[in-house]
Structure 1
Amino acid sequence: MSLVYSTLTSIINRISDEFHDSFLFTTIFSILSFIENQWVNSYFKRLYPSEDFLKFLNKNEILKNHIFNPLLVLFLFAFFLILSMNNPSRSLVCTLIIAFIFFFIGSAILPKYFFNGNTENMLRFERRDIYSIGFCLILVSIVFFGLSIASVGGIPLLRPSIRYLLKPAFTMPVFLIIPGTCLVAGAYLKDFQDGKITRSQARFRFIFLLAMNTALLLLLGYRTPLLASFLIIIIIGFYGNIVSLWEVVIGGLVGIGAIIGIGYFRSVSEMTITSSTNPFYTLQSRADFTLHVLNLLDFLGGNFGLTHGKLLASSIPGSALGPRMMVGKLIAWRTEVTVTPTLIGQMVVDFGKVGVAAGMCILGFTLGIGFKILQKTKDYFYISIYSLILTYSILGIETGILDIQVILYFMIASFIYILNIVKTRN
């Protein structure tokens, strides 16, 4: 395994070095370095609120130490369900109780039995390797962004109708900018931890990464991946002491506002609602529809499931139907639409209430172990990987964890955590 990793990172480091040495990227980084110096020494930067702004937030121990605890997923899931104006069925209430209990067991109880001793034997990753992987992922996403725009002959943000003409073969690689940003931000955090760059420099680089994500993803008309980038930067920055607690809170409010605003204006432009409609209606209607879908899936799944893994397997590229199209077929016999099944929708329709118990326990355990490693080591890589899987767990509350690349993120994270469990027990 170490030979495969060494060979792969050697190739990726070579590619990264070649690009960094090219005239184009030398020019780009020189310009960015100049802008960064102007930022760090700017007078206007001093007008920005200090870390002590809204300092009363720091007195709240829950916010200060547990704002990104894995249990945040349960809190947000409950909030999403409350948004709906419809009532869940009795069977679904039972399923939700099972989901919440087993997630709590996996995230809060089981991790207590691991990593209670010396953690020096944990895997450590070279900063250069992680940066190169992230940089190459961003390059791939930029290339496919150009192909996506060219394939539809316009910018989906400006012409919403052509968004539905985007080809998944081109858009899916664009989303690699999210893990790429995660790894590059982690590398910058490592530089900050080692004293190679100042906090102001690290903050500028985080802002630049977020701006780049915003430019690519917003122009394609996608809001969920954009929110993923936003969350990742916030989580890494918070645990790396680059972002203050008050900025996390304000950022969260801005993020919620962005979701509501983008959804509202997109719905108005597509004439699905009128300008006089309550902006919160778009959020409530989504919650209503998603809960209705979950009610139907719970009825179909019962105690032991209906599709027995076929829905999860449909995530594999080349499948006749994608997972969300398969959900559409199951509940409405329509394969031309995609339907979001919530975090537990796939689990219940594949394996029933039993599957929900197992799936939520595994998900909770993965997040719980990742959170404990983060707290124990404060290592830049483990902060980054935890931010990635927590972000997609939060977004999966509505969309489900069904995209093949997202499933791979969880598999890689789980594999690394298992290796650490084995190494520290020897």
Structure 2
Amino acid sequence: MSIIYSTFTSITNKISDEFHRSFLFTTIYSILEFLEDNWVNSYFKRLYPGENFLNFLNNNSILKNHLFNPLIVIFLFSIFLLLSINSPSHSLAITLLIGFVAFFIGSAILPKYFLNNNEKIVQFKRDDIYSIGFCLLLVSIVFFFISIASVGGIPLLRPSIRYLLKPALTMPVFLIIPATCMIASVYLKDFQDKNITRSQARFRFVVLLVIDCAFLLLLGYRTPLLAAFLIIIIIGFYGNIVSLWEVVIGAAIGVGAIIGIGYFRSLGELTITSSTSPIYTLQSRADFTLHVLNLLDFIAGNFGVTHGHLLASAIPGSDLGPRMMVGKLIAWRTEVTVTPTLIGQMVADFGKVGVAFGMCLLGFILGIGFKIMKTTQNYFYIGIYSLILTYTILGIETGILDIQVLLYFAIAIFIYLICIVKSRN
């Protein structure tokens, strides 16, 4: 594996170095450097509230130390269930309880027995991580222009053409999310090493978010944009670049953005009227998704019905994608995609037994990542934890079913396993 990694990073380093020497990059960099210098030394920056703004939040030890603990997944999942207009069935309630208890065991109890010697964690070079992130960003930008050219317009301005976008072209665009994660974590490393100031790091985080907004919002996708937003917040929070009050206000803005984009998109598609409550779009989504989960739980029973085929359908080349397969399971409609929640795939594949095992494993992955991150404060492990926690949170509704997201988790598991093995030697 070390040969593959060194070869891969050698290639990405060369690509990154060549592009950094190009006229286009030097021009963009000069402009951003000018803006950064002016922002850092700006008088108006002093008008922005400091770290002690809303200081009562800093006195809350739970928020300050455990805001992004893996158990936030259970909390947010519960909120999502409460948004639903209807209640879960008795059988589903038992399934959910099994899942929550298993996740708690995996995230809060099992990690205590692993990685108690974090001096032996795998270390990654700063330049390697930056070059990988930068190359992923280049790929995503190239495929963005290919995607809009393939449909002949910008989906944000013409919502009807959004459904003409080809997944094979848009999936590489979403590489902008791990790219943002890796580049932001490198900026955190530079801040930790005192190569840049906190103000410079904050400015660069904002620039990354602006780039994400410029490409993802134009495609009309809100979930990837929310992913980028969450990643920046989590990395900044644990890297002491973003203050606690900014996280709280940022979360409120994020929720408002979800409601607002969903509301106006629904108005544009004539699925609701202007007299409908904006929050109804959230309630209806939660209610529909819970109804899907109820049906999956009913047909799957204790041991499941698809026995791994639903998860395997995420592999490119499958006749049906995982969400289309869910549509076939509950309504025999293969032309629609249906979100099954975080545990939907586990239920369909292996029933209540699958939920117990799957949620325990998911909790363990997040628990180990959280433990390494908190004890080492290593920039790379802060980044990778923010990536998998973000997609777990978003997966509460959508499920963790996209092949690229499954790949992120596979990479995280591989790295954590190496760390566990090294710590036992």
TM range (shorter): over 0.9
Q: 1:8 — aligned with what? A: 8
Q: 1:134 — aligned with what? A: 133
What fraction of aligned residue pairs are identical, expressed as a percent? 79
Q: Equivalences for 1:21-420 in 2 at 5 Å? A: 21-116=21-116, 118-420=117-419
Structure 2 Cα separation of the partners of residues 147 and 11 of structure 1: 24
Structure 1 Cα separation of the partners of residues 210 and 36 of structure 2: 14
Q: Deviations over 1:126-171 (max 9, x none)?
A: 0000000000000000000000110111110011000000011110
TM normalised by structure 1 equals: 0.99
Q: Number of residues paired by the alignment?
A: 425
Structure 2 Cα separation of the partners of residues 412 and 26 of structure 1: 33
Structure 1 Cα separation of the partners of residues 418 and 115 of structure 2: 12
1:412 shift after superposition: 0.3
3-state SS, counterpart of residue 338 of structure 2: coil
1:6 shift after superposition: 1.0
1:122 shift after superposition: 1.1
Q: Deviations over 1:196-231 (max 9, x none)?
A: 000000000000000100110000000000000000
Q: Deviations over 1:168-192 (max 9, x none)?
A: 1110000000000000000000000
**1:63 corresponds to which letter in structure 2?**
L
1:30 shift after superposition: 1.0
Structure 1 Cα separation of the partners of residues 369 and 121 of structure 2: 12
Q: Deviations over 1:386-412 (max 9, x none)?
A: 000000000000000000000000010
Structure 2 Cα separation of the partners of residues 319 and 119 of structure 1: 40
Structure 1 Cα separation of the partners of residues 71 and 34 of structure 2: 42
Structure 1 stretches of 4+ with a deviation exceeding 6 A read: none
Structure 1 Cα separation of the partners of residues 56 and 94 of structure 2: 39
1:38 shift after superposition: 0.8
Structure 2 Cα separation of the partners of residues 231 and 57 of structure 1: 19
Structure 2 Cα separation of the partners of residues 343 and 119 of structure 1: 30
3-state SS, counterpart of residue 305 of structure 1: coil
1:4 shift after superposition: 1.5
Structure 2 Cα separation of the partners of residues 170 and 152 of structure 1: 11
Structure 2 Cα separation of the partners of residues 305 and 226 of structure 1: 33
Q: Deviations over 1:320-344 (max 9, x none)?
A: 1110011011111111110000000
Structure 1 Cα separation of the partners of residues 172 and 341 of structure 2: 23
**2:13 corresponds to which letter in structure 1?**
N
Structure 2 Cα separation of the partners of residues 52 and 158 of structure 1: 41
1:7 shift after superposition: 1.2
3-state SS, counterpart of residue 342 of structure 2: helix
Q: Deviations over 1:294-346 (max 9, x none)?
A: 00000111100100000000000011111001101111111111000000000
Structure 2 Cα separation of the partners of residues 264 and 119 of structure 1: 46
TM normalised by structure 2 equals: 0.99
1:23 shift after superposition: 1.0
3-state SS, counterpart of residue 118 of structure 2: coil
1:115 shift after superposition: 2.1
Unaligned runs of 5+ in 2: none
**2:278 corresponds to which letter in structure 1?**
P
3-state SS, counterpart of residue 302 of structure 2: coil
Structure 2 Cα separation of the partners of residues 137 and 113 of structure 1: 36
Structure 2 Cα separation of the partners of residues 370 and 402 of structure 1: 20
3-state SS, counterpart of residue 59 of structure 1: coil
3-state SS, counterpart of residue 216 of structure 2: helix
Unaligned runs of 5+ in 1: none
Deviates more, 1:379-388 or 1:36-45: 36-45
1:3 shift after superposition: 1.6
Q: Deviations over 1:68-92 (max 9, x none)?
A: 0000000000000000011111110
**2:134 corresponds to which letter in structure 1?**
F
Structure 1 Cα separation of the partners of residues 212 and 313 of structure 2: 28
**1:21 corresponds to which letter in structure 2?**
R
**1:8 corresponds to which letter in structure 2?**
F
1:121 shift after superposition: 1.4
Structure 1 Cα separation of the partners of residues 367 and 388 of structure 2: 11
Structure 2 Cα separation of the partners of residues 114 and 82 of structure 1: 35
Structure 2 Cα separation of the partners of residues 404 and 351 of structure 1: 20
